[in-house]
Structure 1
Amino acid sequence: MPARSSSLDRLAMTVLQPGFDGVAPPAWLRGALADGLGGTVLFARNIVDVGQTAALIAALREENPAVVVAADEEGGAVTRFEAALGSSWPGNRALGVVDDVVRTEHVARAIGRLLAAADVTLNYAPVADVNANPANPVIGIRSFGPDPDLVARHTAAWITGLQAEGVAACAKHFPGHGDTVTDSHLALATVHASLDVLRERDLPPFRAAVEAGVRSIMCGHLLVPALDPDVPATLSRRILTGLLREELGFDGMLVTDAIEMRAVAALHSPGEVAVRALTAGADAICVGVSSPGGESVYALRDAIVEAVRDGRLPEERLAEAAARVLALADWHAAQAAERRPAEPATAVDRAAEELGLDTARAAMRVVMSDAASVPLSRPPLVIHVAPRMSRAVEPGAPAGLTRELAELLPGTEGHTIMTEATALPDLSGDRPVVLVVHDAGRHAWVRELVATAVRARPDAIVVETGIPAEAVGAVYVTTHGVSRASERVVARWLAGGEEPRPGQEKAAG
């Protein structure tokens, strides 16, 4: 699409943060950056390794030095830089279980160093939601836990650690996605809590984030009737301006969750969502998916410009939003200039990897019965019972524990069950059986399948990577997260039989 030179056009481009396909900048993205595009979002589809990503971002900055390059690197289940094999660090729930804010800060610093090595501006993390509802399908282990005070102190520590490495943090999903039973990727989630409960439970982590100096906050696509009964938070001036800006005092960059998510996409066109979000107080519009030639990005620009010209979106509001985007870019540039090492890191260093393993070890809990047999006497059959996780998690085969055990016990076999219709493999014989589940408490068919397996093999080992439920099997291991670090620690324990760390459970079942 031909460039347009008006200052209004450039303001409208500044507030957009679209994703793109490929591991190098497509021509349309280069052109959009030259036209003033203010941001872009990286996903696993854009990332091979740190060196390639650094070269990609350098190419983006050739077109627009002030571009805000964002990524979604929470650690644990949500990772873009380590999506192929899993994160080097367990996620928030594991950190909350350990409950050591110094460790949390160190983990965030390690993630910050990884992102800073590629020159990423903004990390869409940490999750500051209080996971008040165990049935929550999208937050769960991404939260530090169900206690507001715990979540608040770890949110602040995570922000401090990440931003100490010159990468801006982004607390999400304001005003709190923890008490929902709907994934906002799929439909509009509603938080039914009273105003008093929201103030006591959901808002403290965001207050802590503001007090910690968080540079960005992401609003969630949530209907919160106690705050605004009419529209989702993303489109609510009462919530974004009245509550977040005026009451909580946040003056950084406020970014939307991806506007193609069905929670808001089912209500309005992309351009209308962008206009209404900006009018409500958002500063940046996240768009995870763009058309192959970038036409959708320019359509968003045109919708914003038209809204200004029609008087629906005040130009001063758009200018304020663009200024906040540019202020974030300026902060990152200053931080990068101060911290740029002579030889940038190209991978996770040994100390950071050991930090991840030690954290995973500290978060692991074990319940064992008299029938337990650890260490394993021979290579096991590992059955991954794996219903699709949240859309925030990059898709992929969840075979990490099989891989880790196969390195220690050659001959280990893996089997994955993705749907209710898939039967268990043959469990006869004396080969050890390990069942890996995630949030079994939320899936009746998973619980039934595990019960069937345990009846057939009372000596089965069950590894729960999500929110723990009732202990089953001869050995019940809870990792409180999905990560390569957690899988490696469990594999080493199963293969070597080392004693659980102090603070872990070891009880008869």
Structure 2
Amino acid sequence: MTEDDADLRADALAVLAPGFVGTQVPGWAGELLEQGLGGLWLFGHNVQDEAQVCALTAAVHAARPEALVCADEEGGTVTRVHHRDGSPWPGAWALGVVDDVGTTRAVAQGLGVQLHAAGVDLAAAPVADVNSEPDNPVIGARSFGADPALVSRHVRATVEGLREGGVLSCAKHFPGHGSTRVDSHLDLPVLDVDADLLATRELVPFAEAVRAGVDVVMTGHLVVPEHGELPATLNSSVLNLLRDDLGFDGVICTDALDMAAVARTYGRERSAVLALAAGVDLLCVGNPAFPGDYDAEEDTRGLVEAVLAAVRDEQLPRQRLHQAAERVRALGARQAANRADPRSGAGARAGSGVGARAEKTDLHQVGRDAAARAVTVTGPVNTLDAPVVVALSRTMNIASGARAQVVVDTLAARTGGRVAELGELGEVSGRADQAGSMDPLLLVSDDQSDLHDPDLQALVRRCAVLVHTGVRDLPAGLHPACLVRTFGGGLASALAAADALTARPVT
């Protein structure tokens, strides 16, 4: 291999951040890290416990200190490090309901401190999407809200808080996934807005993220018709909005290339080449275990060869690849220096009252207190004696997994109840009728729950409590005896709901 060939291959490796299977760094990944791989992406199946995660990230950084360990850590329903027990941090919509930027910054800093301690370099947050479409199937509670000004101020607070916590921030999903009705994991969404609305709504939080010094911006796999038929991830016209109009000079990262929105039409290898040519710097490959089910090593090596072939065939300018690789290397080097600084991630940035608060208080209590401020209760809270706790959602969101499970498990544990499946309720009711009594019914719903379904509505009308974790309002005329709204899922919001049900006086 000539020196030029070696440099070219090093550049092709530098722009890749694949996922992998297992709770240790696989041999192939360690080999590629030593050769210059940009980083690795952690998913829930890579996480066993805190000690294991620390050992895993230490092995990554031992192989290559500048490599980036990345994870989807938004708080609320989207977490990887806390996927077993649920995130101790409230999600974005709950923070938007509270609308206290100091609280959002404290939560982000606490999350950053925790990730920094675990060796995670980049949190794929904040979500900068303005969720203006109530029927959005994939963003919803992951957004701070439907108002661009509100989203902007909390995006800034999150970028600043993560930085104070010692980790890199990543605003997503450019140019905005909030007004779409299609999940890009499953199909290709269309952001059907004109240039004025794009500029005054979708782009506003991203512009604020850039001004706040966000480290990375992640693209969304969605079509903006005024910019052509290519999805934003593969579209230089859309990415030029970020570079030229918003002035972002940091790393542009793709959303996962194994998502159907791009993989189904272009395939991962072609998507990788088109994304780099369009102006992307870092390729998030995706999750090889779910829903991908592909060989991560074979896929990663194939992507390297596809990028090399594209350069040789002049489909991808050599200078463009080198520019992308240099941006990723510079970011990795900066984070490696930050990681080596004993002061980083300690929650003690100069002049930061937020930092002092996060340092002196149990970190998880910061998240729990924030989640509690978002909770609303409508109707009387009567004594819940061993309730039957049931999730009404029959589907799950790929980004967050089975989001309701943490909530139902936590509520059952905190109220002395038991978890039942939706299909069991007829049998439970039958036994209760024979016994002449019925355990109180505590239902949990989210935006995946079909609350227009007559059968579910009947259950809601007879339940003792409905804990609604979604952002959509209940259908008109549907009034449970007691409604608890958390505006998001995850452990922090589940605990806040349980506290509302067990600490309020009986009326």
TM-score by length of 1: 0.89
Once the two structures are TM-superposed, the CA of residue 329 in structure 1 deviates from its matched residue by 0.7
Aligned pairs for 1:277-296 (under 5 A) are 277-290=275-288, 291-292=294-295, 294-296=297-299
Does the Cα contact within 8 Å between 2:167 and 2:345 map onto a contact in 1?
A: no
2:384 & 2:298 partners in 1: Cα distance?
59
2:19 & 2:260 partners in 1: Cα distance?
17
> Percent same amino acid at aligned positions?
42
2:362 aligned residue: 351
Does the Cα contact within 8 Å between 2:112 and 2:161 map onto a contact in 1?
A: yes
Once the two structures are TM-superposed, the CA of residue 224 in structure 1 deviates from its matched residue by 0.8
1:425 & 1:402 partners in 2: Cα distance?
19
Once the two structures are TM-superposed, the CA of residue 120 in structure 1 deviates from its matched residue by 1.4
Which shifted more, 122-131 or 31-40? Answer: 31-40
Does the Cα contact within 8 Å between 1:386 and 1:416 map onto a contact in 2?
A: no
Q: Could you list the runs of 4 or more consecutive aligned residues of structure 1 that deviate by over 4 angstroms after TM superposition? A: 340-344, 421-425
2:268 & 2:460 partners in 1: Cα distance?
49
2:47 aligned residue: 47
2:142 aligned residue: 142
Match of 2:319 among 291, 316, 319: 316
2:428 aligned residue: 426
Once the two structures are TM-superposed, the CA of residue 426 in structure 1 deviates from its matched residue by 3.1
Per-residue CA distance 1:236-266 (angstroms, 9 max, x = gap):
00111x2111111001010000001000011
Once the two structures are TM-superposed, the CA of residue 131 in structure 1 deviates from its matched residue by 0.2
Does the Cα contact within 8 Å between 1:381 and 1:433 map onto a contact in 2?
A: yes
Q: Does 1:248 align with 2:246?
A: yes
Note the aligned Cα RMSD (angstroms).
Answer: 2.3
Does the Cα contact within 8 Å between 2:47 and 2:80 map onto a contact in 1?
A: yes
2:51 & 2:249 partners in 1: Cα distance?
34
Does the Cα contact within 8 Å between 2:450 and 2:456 map onto a contact in 1?
A: no
Does the Cα contact within 8 Å between 2:126 and 2:159 map onto a contact in 1?
A: yes
Aligned pairs for 1:215-294 (under 5 A) are 215-226=215-226, 228-240=227-239, 242-290=240-288, 291-292=294-295, 294=297
Structure 1, unpaired ranges of 5+: 500-505
Quick one: structure 1 residues 175 and 454, their matched pair in 2 at CA, closer, same or farther if it must change by over 3 Å? closer
2:355 aligned residue: none
Per-residue CA distance 1:392-415 (angstroms, 9 max, x = gap):
11347x3334433444443x1211
Per-residue CA distance 1:267-317 (angstroms, 9 max, x = gap):
112111000000000001111134446111111011101111111111110
2:336 & 2:60 partners in 1: Cα distance?
14
Once the two structures are TM-superposed, the CA of residue 477 in structure 1 deviates from its matched residue by 1.0
Does the Cα contact within 8 Å between 1:177 and 1:222 map onto a contact in 2?
A: yes
Once the two structures are TM-superposed, the CA of residue 339 in structure 1 deviates from its matched residue by 3.6
Which shifted more, 161-170 or 93-102? Answer: 161-170
Aligned partner letter, 1:215? D
Quick one: structure 1 residues 472 and 32, their matched pair in 2 at CA, closer, same or farther if it must change by over 3 Å? same
Per-residue CA distance 1:324-383 (angstroms, 9 max, x = gap):
101111121222222457999xxx996211111111111001111xxx3x2425111111
Aligned partner letter, 2:439? R
Aligned pairs for 1:366-445 (under 5 A) are 366-368=377-379, 372=380, 374-395=381-402, 398-410=404-416, 412-417=417-422, 424-427=426-429, 428=432, 429-439=437-447, 443=450
Does the Cα contact within 8 Å between 1:223 and 1:231 map onto a contact in 2?
A: yes
Does the Cα contact within 8 Å between 2:79 and 2:400 map onto a contact in 1?
A: yes
Compare the two structures and name the one with the higher helix fraction: 2
Quick one: structure 1 residues 496 and 320, their matched pair in 2 at CA, closer, same or farther if it must change by over 3 Å? same
Aligned to 1:172, what secondary structure does the other structure show? Answer: strand
Aligned pairs for 1:142-161 (under 5 A) are 142-161=142-161
Once the two structures are TM-superposed, the CA of residue 96 in structure 1 deviates from its matched residue by 0.1
Aligned partner letter, 1:272? R
Aligned partner letter, 1:270? R
Structure 2, unpaired ranges of 5+: 289-293, 348-358
2:322 & 2:328 partners in 1: Cα distance?
10
Aligned partner letter, 1:233? A
Q: Does 1:361 align with 2:372?
A: yes
1:502 aligned residue: none
Once the two structures are TM-superposed, the CA of residue 195 in structure 1 deviates from its matched residue by 1.1
1:498 & 1:117 partners in 2: Cα distance?
40
Q: Does 1:461 align with 2:457?
A: no
Aligned residues: 479
Aligned to 1:169, what secondary structure does the other structure show? Answer: strand
TM-score by length of 2: 0.90
